Amino acid sequence: MAWETRPVRAVDDGQAPDAVAVEEPLEIRVHGRSVAVTMRTPGHDRELAAGFLLTEGIVDGPDDLAALEPVGTSGNVVDCVLSSGVDAHRDALERATRELYASSACGICGKTSIDRVRIVASCAVPAHDLAPAFVLALPARLREGQAGFLATGGLHGAALARLDGSLEVVREDVGRHNAVDKVLGWRLLADRVPVSDAVLVVSSRAGFEIVQKARIAGVGAIVALGAATTLAVDLARDAGIALYGFASADRFNRYA
């Protein structure tokens, strides 16, 4: 369950139970070695780990994963065993090792140097020029798939939209970057990467790491319900990604 009830005292209504988003740590290991700890909403943890490994450049597809399974009884550890022929990605694994945890607010918080920020993308990004009506319809479709947000108001959402406007997958998490990793990991585990035939939709702002993840996965367009940042705009322009922000039923901005 993405949320639990907790007693609260409201100013106007007195004490009553309220739905609160669940936040717990997830440790991602590779061959038993810890490479990241992220604060996430439990559920779809294999997708989250797969998406993380993809967007960190450690794997390119499901064939790179010999195993990806939970460890122990806590439910808060996932271990990946790489296939024997993935030695080319060992340097990416070294780069991905983080000295600090990635909080739910910022997925880049443990990177040990500014050089870690720009990861070389291995696939070309397709150009997607989206019709205005397509963009305007996406916020409502994303919200329809966000049961956790409707219950708690505390979960970010991410989705992949087909080019006909329908959503093929929606995921939620306390961390916006985790929600993105979950949908990209879903595609990787389905052996459908690069994600050149879909648009990434996010309920949050479009920060640098969101665009970076899309770039690594081969996504050609991002529609954010929130704002964009300068680094996100610059990276989207450099990569040829169409970047939309402040999307709602009646307006949006196109930044790149």
Residues 6+ apart with CB under 8 A from 128: 163, 199, 220, 221, 242
Instruction: Specify whether 249 is located in the same domain as 143.
Output: yes
Domain annotation covers residue 11: no
Domain annotation covers residue 1: no
Average pLDDT over residues 15-21: 83
Q: Domain boundary at 89, 116, 143, which?
A: 116
User: What range does the domain containing 67 cover?
Assistant: 24-116
Give the chain's largest Cα–Cα span: 62
Instruction: Specify whether 111 is located in the same domain as 140.
Output: no
CATH number at residue 49: 3.10.20.10
Contact 213, 180 (CB under 8 A): yes
Contact 215, 235 (CB under 8 A): yes
Instruction: Specify whether 236 is located in the same domain as 170.
Output: yes
Asked whether residue 78 carries a pLDDT value surpassing 50, the answer given is yes
pLDDT digits (tens, 9 = 90+) for 89-116: 566 566 555 444 455 556 555 554 445 5
Domain annotation covers residue 168: yes
Instruction: Specify whether 76 is located in the same domain as 181.
Output: no
At residue 122 the predicted structure's pLDDT band, cuts being 50, 70 and 90, is: low
Most confident of the ranges 69-73, 107-111, 133-137? 133-137
- Across the chain, what does the average pLDDT equal? 87
For 115, counting Cβ atoms within 10 Å of its Cβ (0-12 exposed, 13-18 middle, 19+ buried), the class is exposed
Instruction: Specify whether 177 is located in the same domain as 95.
Output: no
Q: Is 80 a catalytic residue?
A: no
Average pLDDT over residues 51-76: 91
Which residue, 11, 1, 20, 13, is CA-closest to 153? 20
* Cα(209)–Cα(31) distance, integer angstroms: 26
Residues 6+ apart with CB under 8 A from 243: 206, 211, 221, 222, 224, 228, 232, 233, 236, 254, 255, 256
Location of structure tokens 């879903």: 186
Instruction: Specify whether 59 is located in the same domain as 111.
Output: yes
Instruction: Report the DSSP beta bridge partners of residue 161.
Output: 167, 199
Contacts made by residues 101-104, CB under 8 angstroms, sequence distance 24+: 101/25, 101/36, 101/37, 101/38, 101/39, 102/36, 102/37, 102/38, 102/39, 102/175, 102/177, 103/38, 103/39, 103/175, 104/23, 104/38, 104/39, 104/40, 104/173, 104/174, 104/175, 104/178
Instruction: Specify whether 103 is located in the same domain as 139.
Output: no
CATH number at residue 148: 3.40.140.10
Domain annotation covers residue 53: yes
Instruction: Specify whether 101 is located in the same domain as 192.
Output: no
Domain annotation covers residue 3: no
Domain annotation covers residue 127: no
Instruction: Specify whether 93 is located in the same domain as 139.
Output: no
Instruction: Specify whether 102 is located in the same domain as 179.
Output: no
pLDDT digits (tens, 9 = 90+) for 203-247: 999 999 999 999 999 999 999 999 999 999 999 999 999 999 999
Q: Domain boundary at 83, 116, 149, which?
A: 116
At residue 120 the predicted structure's pLDDT band, cuts being 50, 70 and 90, is: low
Q: Domain boundary at 116, 150, 168, which?
A: 116
Instruction: Specify whether 247 is located in the same domain as 148.
Output: yes
* Cα(185)–Cα(49) distance, integer angstroms: 7
Q: 80, 106, 109, 123: which one is catalytic?
A: 106
Q: Is 111 left (phi over 0), alpha (psi -120 to 50) or beta?
A: beta
Domain annotation covers residue 121: no
Domain annotation covers residue 13: no
The total domain count for the chain is: 2
Instruction: Specify whether 160 is located in the same domain as 188.
Output: yes
